[in-house]
Amino acid sequence: MIEISSYHIQVLAFMGINIILAVSLNLINGFTGQFSLGHAGFMAIGAYTAAILTKACGWPFLLATLAGALLAFAFGLLLGIPILRLKGDYLAIATFGLSEIVRVAIVNFDDVTMKAATLVGLQDLVPKEITRGALGYPAIPEVKSLVWIYGWAFVTCLILRNIVRSSEGRAISSIGEDELAAESLGINTARYKTLSFAIGAFFAGVAGALFAHWVTYIKADLFKIDKSIEILLMVVLGGMGSLSGSVLGAVVLTLLPEYLRVFAQWRMVIYPILLILLMLTRPEGLLGRRELSTILGVLYTRAMGRGGPAPGNPPVAAE
Amino acid sequence: MSEFIQQLINGIALGSIYGLIAVGYTIVYGILGLINFAHGEIYMMGTFSAFLAVQFAKSKFGWEMGFFPALLIGMLGAAVLGVAIERIAYRPLRAKSAVPAVMLGLIGGGAAFMLLGGIMGHAGVHFGNPLALFVSTSVSSSSAVEKVEGAQIPALVSLAVWAMLAFGVYRLSKEKLAQRKKLKAGTLTALLTALGVSLLLQNLGIQMFGATPKSFPPLVEFYPYEFGSIILANQDMLIFGAMVVSMVVLQLIIYKTKIGKAMRAVAVDQDAARLMGVRLDFTISCAFAIGSSLAAIAGVLYAIRYTKIDPLMGALPGAKAFVAAVLGGIGNIPGAVVGGLIMGVTEALVVGYVSSTLRDAFAFGILILILLVKPTGLMGSNQPEKV
């Protein structure tokens, strides 16, 4: 029997948060095919909003989480409309820039609001410290509950699964397959791209709120590009366009750095090497576009002796 | 007014550095269509190789190395690294074979890395690099190990890592090579690989050199020329001059030499260029070497002007130089320089007149604005999308 310490629980909590992040990013990157490098920015928006609401305004946790997520959703919608006109590399860079701007905005938030308030003569009404700049936001009310985290993770997976299977989800997937073709079939690509971007942002906000209340101390530097890349890696490892793949990716990539702790400070050297090797050997990820249930189903039928080609994995034509 | 001119001077110096880095992005993008995210780290590694060379020459031979030898070593170091990265990480993404080269490259890279650590350790220059300790103890029984306890363990770990790598690549070459047709690696795969290389080099840098900033030796002494209240530093002039000279040389290479012609041909159409007898891989390697050595020039100049270097020094200038390249129209060399200058001047003016903490927000604000208004950049050409 493994003894469960607070360390194990912490890892489990981060795993749950990572599942939410990876699955929601997969909607944007995998299904819609829009390369976003800015997921950490939306996470930061959710984290800060929820933290400020519970601590300074005394809101209940669930309400604050929803508020943070809704603000992230609103930002996703607002920023998605202009940004998503870009494609490929350019979109990646623009989303990266956006999340950097969010970070810098959080750091400078107090200064700027104070100056603005002074300009219109409202300096007495505006609190001096809102985000506390680069020092970080301390002493957030603690909500250390795996039930909340895995509850949200379950809800996220459920909602995204239903979205993907709905007719809107098919429209979104068709954009991911071929944007030009989707557009020529009469799909309002701009609308669905923005929608999927905003829904992804919503759940990133949820994850941010959960994260903030677990660690009780956040600062803007936690939500740098590194975090976005980490989430992206989970999506890519699991397979773009596979929800269960993202869950798998999140689980593996949360545990892997913990196992690599044996290597002490060399862990962060080994980690990118493994990533490069993954990209060179299996660029489509562990599951590709398939779901775990499909694969298990195929294995089951094969085991039962009722072979036949696997759905979603057509036999390769003879060369 | 004089303050404005002063900020302009600062901005042009900074902008020249961004421009030099941006050219590397633009060359590689022009030829490969790949954003080389590791370019900022090549800039860092180039600077560090110059730094280590100066330290080494001083501690071993008592030679006070001058500006030009240090610059050349930095350029060489960066060029070797750039070519190695291309071979190991990027080439397998596009090539059918070249995997044996990857394997060789990895093993060679590991050996070179350990050798460097050994030489450095032997010369008594330690940067918290366990490999240095390992090799220095195996080469000669110096007392290096006693300095840091438990040094053998990290050394063994690093050996294990290289063994793992070699094994992985070996498997890759054996199994995948046979059935792999021309792999059209998607944007995502290429971009993630580049990000991985960037992450790897940053962390390798932290392990090798330590995370604390180092003081770069003043290879060119600061000397201010004063015009009234405006101060024009000789280092700023050196930076601008070096940028102009590099650009002239680069233009000559691209338009007057055979390899330059090959590079232009590959940029237009890879397959057609290959059919005409252009050695594709060699040309791409050359592009990486040129871009990387320009980044090293920028790095050494930056280190001389701003005196402090650290393993993460490449991240932000790298990102901003990328913005500069996009601003000027990616793939366009004069555009990259112009973009760099615009970025530098804007940043200096923001620092001078608005707020120094907002400088990065402005840089990325420019990026998003330019992408929305004119995604092909100021000097880029418009390419229609083909189905």
Q: Provide, as residue numbers in chain A, all residues whose Cβ is less than 8 Å from the Cβ of B185.
A: 283
The per-residue pLDDT for B198 is: 86
The per-residue pLDDT for B19 is: 93
Interface of B with A in 189-208 (CB under 8 A): 189, 191-193, 195-197, 199-200, 203-204, 206-207
Q: Taking a C-beta distance cutoff of 8 angstroms, is the pair A294, A312 a contact?
A: yes
pLDDT tens-place string over residues B47-102: 999 988 888 888 877 777 788 888 999 999 999 999 988 887 787 777 554 455 55
Q: Which of B112, B21, B57 is nearest to B323 (CA)?
A: B21
- Would you call A240 and B188 a contact, using CB atoms and an 8 Å cutoff? yes
| Residue count (chain A) | 319
Q: Which of B340, B303, B290 is nearest to B318 (CA)?
A: B340
The per-residue pLDDT for B288 is: 92
Residue B214 φ then ψ, to 5°: -110, 150
pLDDT at B153 over 60: no
Q: Taking a C-beta distance cutoff of 8 angstroms, is the pair B206, B48 a contact?
A: no
- Alpha-carbon torsion B289, B294, B299, B304, what sign? positive
Nearest by CB: B203 against A86, A268, A283 = A268
Domain residue ranges in chain B: 2-96+181-206+216-373, 98-177
Residue B139 banded pLDDT, cuts 50, 70, 90: very low
Interface of A with B in 8-27 (CB under 8 A): none
Q: Provide, as residue numbers in chain B, all residues whose Cβ is less than 8 Å from the Cβ of A105.
A: 361
B156 inside 8 A of chain A by CB: no
Interface of A with B in 243-282 (CB under 8 A): 263-266, 268-273, 275-277, 279-281
Name all contacts of B151-156 with Cβ < 8 Å and 24+ positions apart.
Answer: B154/A264, B154/A265, B154/A266, B154/B130, B155/B130, B155/B131
Which three-class secondary structure state does DSSP give residue B215?
strand
- Would you call A94 and B193 a contact, using CB atoms and an 8 Å cutoff? no
- Would you call A105 and B199 a contact, using CB atoms and an 8 Å cutoff? no
Residue B366 banded pLDDT, cuts 50, 70, 90: confident
B54 inside 8 A of chain A by CB: no
Q: How many domains does chain A have?
A: 1
Residue B146 banded pLDDT, cuts 50, 70, 90: very low
The per-residue pLDDT for B3 is: 82
- Among B193, B206, B209, B350, the strongest candidate for a mutation testing the A interface, having the largest count of A CBs within 10 A, is B193
- Among A93, A115, A178, A281, the strongest candidate for a mutation testing the B interface, having the largest count of B CBs within 10 A, is A93
Interface of B with A in 338-367 (CB under 8 A): 355, 357-358, 360-361, 364-365, 367
- Would you call B326 and A29 a contact, using CB atoms and an 8 Å cutoff? no
A184 inside 8 A of chain B by CB: no
Kindly compute the dihedral angle of the four CA atoms of residues A53, A59, A65, A69, in this order, to the nearest 10 degrees: -60
Instruction: State the Cα–Cα distance between residues B78 and B53, nearest whole angstrom.
Output: 13
pLDDT at B204 over 80: yes
Instruction: State the Cα–Cα distance between residues B37 and B291, nearest whole angstrom.
Output: 13
A217 inside 8 A of chain B by CB: no
Q: How far is CA A176 from CA A92, A189, B190, in A?
A: 15, 10, 18
Least confident of A91-95, A199-203, B129-133, B359-363: B129-133
A130 inside 8 A of chain B by CB: no
The per-residue pLDDT for A203 is: 94
A318 inside 8 A of chain B by CB: no
A75 inside 8 A of chain B by CB: no
Residue B164 banded pLDDT, cuts 50, 70, 90: low
* Percent of residues in chain B assigned helix, strand, coil, to nearest 5: 75, 5, 20
Q: Taking a C-beta distance cutoff of 8 angstroms, is the pair A36, A95 a contact?
A: yes
| Section B315-321 average pLDDT | 86
Q: Provide, as residue numbers in chain B, all residues whose Cβ is less than 8 Å from the Cβ of A89.
A: 35, 187, 191
A177 inside 8 A of chain B by CB: no
pLDDT at A319 over 50: no
In chain B, % of residues over pLDDT 90: 20
Name all contacts of B341-344 with Cβ < 8 Å and 24+ positions apart.
Answer: B341/B11, B341/B12, B341/B15, B341/B16, B341/B18, B341/B19, B342/B15, B342/B366, B343/B15, B343/B18, B344/B11, B344/B12, B344/B13, B344/B14, B344/B15, B344/B16, B344/B17, B344/B18, B344/B19
Domain of A43, in residue numbers: 6-303
pLDDT at B387 over 90: no
* Residue carrying the six token digits 């040389």: B249
Is A311 among the domain residues?
no
The per-residue pLDDT for A24 is: 93
CATH number of B2-96+181-206+216-373: 1.10.3470
Higher pLDDT, A132 or A197: A197
Higher pLDDT, A130 or B319: B319
pLDDT at A266 over 80: no
The per-residue pLDDT for A305 is: 67
Q: Taking a C-beta distance cutoff of 8 angstroms, is the pair B219, B70 a contact?
A: yes
pLDDT at A207 over 90: yes
N- to C-terminal Cα separation, chain B? 53
- Which residue from A minimizes the CA distance to B184? A283
In chain A, % of residues over pLDDT 70: 88
| Section A13-37 average pLDDT | 89
Is A317 among the domain residues?
no
Instruction: State the Cα–Cα distance between residues B249 and B243, nearest whole angstrom.
Output: 10
* Residue carrying the six token digits 């209240």: B229
Count Cβ–Cβ pairs < 8 Å, chain A vs chain B. Answer: 130
| Section A284-300 average pLDDT | 76
Which residues face A24 on adjacent strands? none
N- to C-terminal Cα separation, chain A? 52
pLDDT at B301 over 80: yes
How far does CA B183 lie from the centroid of its chain?
26
Is A94 among the domain residues?
yes
- Which residue from A minimizes the CA distance to B157? A263
pLDDT at B135 over 70: no
CATH number of the domain where residue A71 is located: 1.10.3470
Q: How far is CA B340 from CA B62, B334, B356, in A?
A: 38, 10, 19
pLDDT tens-place string over residues A216-240: 888 888 888 878 888 888 888 888 8
Q: What is the DSSP string of B225-262?
A: EEETTEEEEHHHHHHHHHHHHHHHHHHHHHHHSHHHHH
Is A234 among the domain residues?
yes
Kindly compute the dihedral angle of the four CA atoms of residues B118, B119, B124, B129, in this order, to the nearest 10 degrees: -40
The per-residue pLDDT for B96 is: 52
| Residue count (chain B) | 387
pLDDT tens-place string over residues A47-93: 999 888 888 778 888 888 899 999 999 999 988 888 887 777 778 87
Interface of B with A in 234-273 (CB under 8 A): none
Instruction: State the Cα–Cα distance between residues A11 and A17, nearest whole angstrom.
Output: 10
The per-residue pLDDT for B157 is: 58
The per-residue pLDDT for A67 is: 92
Q: Which of B318, B323, B369 is nearest to B342 (CA)?
A: B323
Q: Which of A11, A33, A72 is nearest to A250 (CA)?
A: A11
Higher pLDDT, B277 or B191: B277
pLDDT tens-place string over residues B235-255: 888 899 999 999 999 999 999
Retrieve residue A33's tokens. 């095919």
Give the best-scoring range by mean pLDDT among A104-118, A157-171, A300-314: A157-171
- Which residue from B minimizes the CA distance to A262? B157
B92 inside 8 A of chain A by CB: yes
